[in-house]
């Protein structure tokens, strides 16, 4: 009788061990499948390596000449394509997830607007871990459809909520500083503010003293709380400082980097940014 009792207890323990082994096996199998899908680019899991080392970049709007030069020179590591913001359908987020980096640069085109569905898709893309670069006042106008650009609200808050590292404040004339026509033309240099940041690796000032300063078109935007100021613009003929590069991260790894000038004018900084985001 004692022998049978011990045997029954042993059988129960064995059943528990078998069940635990099956559960562990299923978890390992699920992890292997997830890593494989990530490896082959079917899904995107932040922090896990990809099998394809090529970075896929989408430019929404139109790249400047300087940006094209950098992108073309990095053809060994990335490919890029261009699309208009109004060319997307309903599944914007799913389309954007096919790209490692999305650059919203409408500084080189007349239309600075985005649709409501596009802007929500961008927010979803970043919330899922996507990497977004925004240049100057791209996306500050909201297109309500049928060519009607909303002028009752202007700024990234209406378009992209809280993902942007900068905000479009009101100027002294009570008009939004990011409105088209409010850009400021200056001669100056991009100065390192966060010396630990990879985007400014090895760069304290661009271009260095002794070289001709940059002719820049910039906006009097303000870096928001929770964002990191990476670099600023110091004008040659005034004491005024302007934000140059700012970054804001989402809770699960998405990143938005903002350039308050044409990043093609500082090719090494742009290259560092692309390497950092990929």
Question: Is residue 69 located within the same domain as residue 46?
Answer: no
Question: Is residue 6 located within the same domain as residue 107?
Answer: no
Pairing of strands 241-249, 228-235: antiparallel
Question: Is residue 31 located within the same domain as residue 89?
Answer: no
- Rounded CA-CA distance 254/46 in Å is 9
Q: What is the pLDDT of residue 58?
A: 97
**Which of 52, 75, 92 is at the close of a domain?**
52
183-226, pLDDT tens digit by residue?
999 999 999 998 789 999 999 999 999 999 999 999 999 999 88
**Which of 14, 37, 52 is at the close of a domain?**
52
Which residues does 47 contact at the CB level (< 8 Å), separation at least 6?
253
**Which of 32, 52, 72 is at the close of a domain?**
52
Domain containing residue 203: CATH number = 3.40.50.880
Question: Is residue 121 located within the same domain as residue 192?
Answer: yes
81-139, pLDDT tens digit by residue?
999 998 998 899 999 999 999 999 999 998 888 988 999 999 999 999 999 999 999 99
Q: What is the pLDDT of residue 126?
A: 95
Half-sphere exposure in the Cβ direction for 34 (13 Å, CA): 11
Domain housing 253: 55-277
Question: Is residue 61 located within the same domain as residue 47?
Answer: no
Q: What is the pLDDT of residue 174?
A: 78
Question: Is residue 65 located within the same domain as residue 164?
Answer: yes
Q: What would the mean pLDDT of 42-52 be, rounded to a whole number?
A: 50
Question: Is residue 11 located within the same domain as residue 69?
Answer: no
Name the percent of the chain lying above pLDDT 90.
58
Question: Is residue 28 located within the same domain as residue 111?
Answer: no
Question: Is residue 147 located within the same domain as residue 93?
Answer: yes
């Amino acid at each position: 009788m004692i022998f049978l009792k011990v045997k029954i207890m042993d059988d129960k323990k064995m059943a528990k061990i078998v069940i635990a082994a099956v559960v562990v096996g299923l978890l390992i199998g699920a992890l292997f499948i997830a890593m494989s899908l990530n490896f082959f680019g079917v899904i995107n899991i932040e922090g896990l390596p990809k099998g394809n080392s090529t970075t896929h970049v989408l430019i929404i709007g139109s790249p400047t000449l300087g940006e094209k030069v950098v992108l073309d020179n990095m053809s060994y590591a990335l490919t890029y394509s261009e699309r208009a913001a109004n060319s997307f359908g309903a599944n914007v987020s799913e389309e954007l997830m096919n790209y490692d980096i999305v650059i919203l640069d409408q500084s080189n085109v007349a239309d600075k607007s985005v649709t409501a569905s596009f802007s929500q898709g961008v927010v979803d893309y970043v919330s899922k871990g996507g990497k977004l670069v925004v240049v100057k006042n791209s996306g500050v106008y909201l297109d309500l459809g049928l060519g009607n650009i909303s002028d009752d609200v202007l700024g990234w808050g209406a378009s992209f909520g809280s993902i942007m590292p900068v905000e479009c404040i009101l100027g002294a004339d009570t008009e939004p500083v990011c409105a088209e026509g409010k850009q400021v033309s200056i001669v100056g240099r991009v100065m390192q503010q966060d010396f630990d940041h990879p985007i400014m690796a090895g760069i304290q000032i661009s271009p260095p003293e002794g070289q001709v300063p940059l002719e820049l078109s910039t906006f009097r935007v303000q870096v928001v709380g929770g964002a990191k100021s990476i670099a600023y613009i110091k004008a040659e003929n005034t004491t005024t400082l302007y934000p140059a590069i700012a970054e804001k991260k989402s809770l699960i790894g998405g990143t938005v980097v903002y350039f308050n000038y044409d990043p093609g004018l500082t090719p090494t900084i742009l290259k560092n940014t692309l390497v950092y985001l990929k």
